[in-house]
């Protein structure tokens, strides 16, 4: 039997491990964006929620950029771990 062929149980373990990598990477991405937003709140001395309620467009664009960045990170994490 050639070396490059895998048994079915071994390939199933690889698939399960890939799903765990994807879930862990997405969780890590979510935690990092939350910590980044908290760091921005603490560093610049204003609250993002209050600024959004008051209609501050710069804060809205920065928050939207963070959400788009998180979506891109999720796409890369899922795409590369479930190849």
pLDDT tens digits for range 12-66: 788 888 888 888 888 988 898 889 888 888 888 778 888 889 998 998 898 899 8
Q: Does some domain include residue 2?
A: no
Q: Does some domain include residue 3?
A: no
Token pair of 30, please? Answer: 């979510």
> What is the predicted pLDDT for the residue at 68?
92
Helix-helix angle 57-81:8-44, to 10 degrees:
160
Q: Does some domain include residue 12?
A: no
Give the residue numbers spanning the domain of 32: 21-81
Residue matched to tokens 């190849």: 83
pTM, to two decimals = 0.66
Q: Does some domain include residue 37?
A: yes
Run of H or E including 78: helix 57-81
Residue 6: pLDDT band by 50, 70, 90 thresholds?
Answer: low
Q: Total structural domains in the chain?
A: 1
């Amino acid at each position: 039997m050639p070396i490059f062929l895998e048994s079915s149980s071994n390939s199933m373990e690889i698939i399960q491990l890939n799903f765990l990598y994807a879930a862990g990477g997405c969780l890590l991405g979510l935690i990092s964006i939350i910590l980044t937003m908290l760091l921005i709140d603490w560093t610049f001395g204003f609250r993002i929620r209050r600024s959004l309620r008051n209609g501050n467009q710069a804060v809205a664009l920065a928050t939207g950029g963070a959400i788009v960045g998180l979506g891109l990170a999720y796409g890369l994490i899922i795409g590369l771990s479930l190849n």
